[in-house]
Amino acid sequence: MYKTIIQQFVRQNNYPKLQLKGVFFDMDGVLLDSMGKHVASWIQSMQDYNIPFTAKEAYLYEGQPGSITISKAYQRTFGKKPTVEVIEKLYNLKCDYIKKMDPIGPMKHADKLLQQIKNQGLETYLVTGSGQPSIIDMLDIYFPDTFQPDHKVTALNNIKGKPAPDPYLRALSIAGIKPWEAVVIENAPLGVESAVAAGIFTIAINTGPLASSILSERGAHIVLDGGMTELNNKWEEISAHLIS
């Protein structure tokens, strides 16, 4: 089944073939079990500004820069754009709330998957819309020697955020590889959109409450309902067709 999906992807994009060299990882909900805390801190900080905000929205907006999430919710509530100061204050408040919560843990089986990938001699890259150093730095604690400093694309890089293709295009550029030499692991609809727009084969793992069909609709080439555990179990089978 995976072989056919991959062949179809290669044909549709007029690529020579898929020859995997680098794996691009999203962070929240893929490597870190952080989404519950992001959702709670978004709801709390928005509430302080009298902005109604639901968990579902937090998952739908996942991956895009925090400033955009704030602008959309503010505009919808008050019918006008927030000032730069309001955006900054609300974002800092959100970050403060999450810092006060229990520490964020790694996603179950992410370490095993990363080990498999390293054993295959493939390079690993981080491509996240997050701009919170306190969270990004946890990757080096949970997955030491995995994401080199020059292998990280974050919101701190000052480029257009997901769902624009820019973060994944930047990753291709720093890796010095072509779209057919990479694969993306994503969990969020906007992240999938970004990866697909960059022309990269995208595996979506559903690790939240949204329907998996949303991930397929945004263009994910493979969608796994069983999250990171299922991807870890199936990586050998899937990657066999990506490396050949």
Task: Please tell me whether residue 28 binds Mg ion under the rule CB under 5 A.
Answer: yes
* Helix, strand, or coil (residue 127): strand
Task: Please tell me whether residue 181 binds Mg ion under the rule CB under 5 A.
Answer: no
CA 39 – CA 18 distance, rounded (Å): 36
For residue 12, give both structure tokens.
């549709």
In the list 22, 29, 65, 161, the residue contacting Mg ion (rule: CB under 5 A) is 29
Task: Of 182, 159, 180, 155, give the one whose Cα is nearest residue 170.
Answer: 159
Q: What is the CA radius of gyration of the chain?
A: 18
Contact 188, 59 (CB under 8 A): yes
Count the residues of the shown chain that bind Mg ion, applying the rule CB under 5 A. 5
At 162, give phi and psi (nearest 5°). -55, 145
Q: Looking at beta carbons only, is 29 or 199 nearer to Mg ion?
A: 29
Tokens 């927030």 correspond to: 82
Q: Looking at beta carbons only, is 52 or 209 nearer to Mg ion?
A: 209
Which stretch, 19-27, 117-125, 153-161, 219-227, contacts Mg ion (CB under 5 A)?
19-27
Task: Please tell me whether residue 127 binds Mg ion under the rule CB under 5 A.
Answer: no
Q: How far is the CB of 35 from Mg ion (least distance, A)?
A: 7
Task: Please tell me whether residue 26 binds Mg ion under the rule CB under 5 A.
Answer: yes
Task: Please tell me whether residue 34 binds Mg ion under the rule CB under 5 A.
Answer: no
User: Tell me, what amino acid is at 40?
Assistant: A
Which stretch, 142-150, 183-191, 192-200, 227-235, contacts Mg ion (CB under 5 A)?
183-191
In the list 188, 196, 228, 238, the residue contacting Mg ion (rule: CB under 5 A) is 188
Q: Looking at beta carbons only, is 29 or 179 nearer to Mg ion?
A: 29
Task: Report strand pairing: 32-33 vs 22-25.
Answer: unpaired
Q: How far is the CB of 226 from Mg ion (least distance, A)?
A: 16
Q: Looking at beta carbons only, is 31 or 70 nearer to Mg ion?
A: 31
Cα Dmax for the chain: 54
For residue 154, give both structure tokens.
């974050």
Q: How far is the CB of 225 from Mg ion (least distance, A)?
A: 16
Site string for Mg ion, 132-171 (x = CB under 5 A): ----------------------------------------
Tell me the helix, strand and coil percentages in the chain, rounded to 5: 55, 10, 35
Task: Please tell me whether residue 193 binds Mg ion under the rule CB under 5 A.
Answer: no
Q: How far is the CB of 191 from Mg ion (least distance, A)?
A: 5
Length of the chain: 244
CA 65 – CA 162 distance, rounded (Å): 7
Q: How far is the CB of 131 from Mg ion (least distance, A)?
A: 14
For residue 200, give both structure tokens.
């990269």
- List residues binding Mg ion (CB under 5 A): 26, 28-29, 187-188
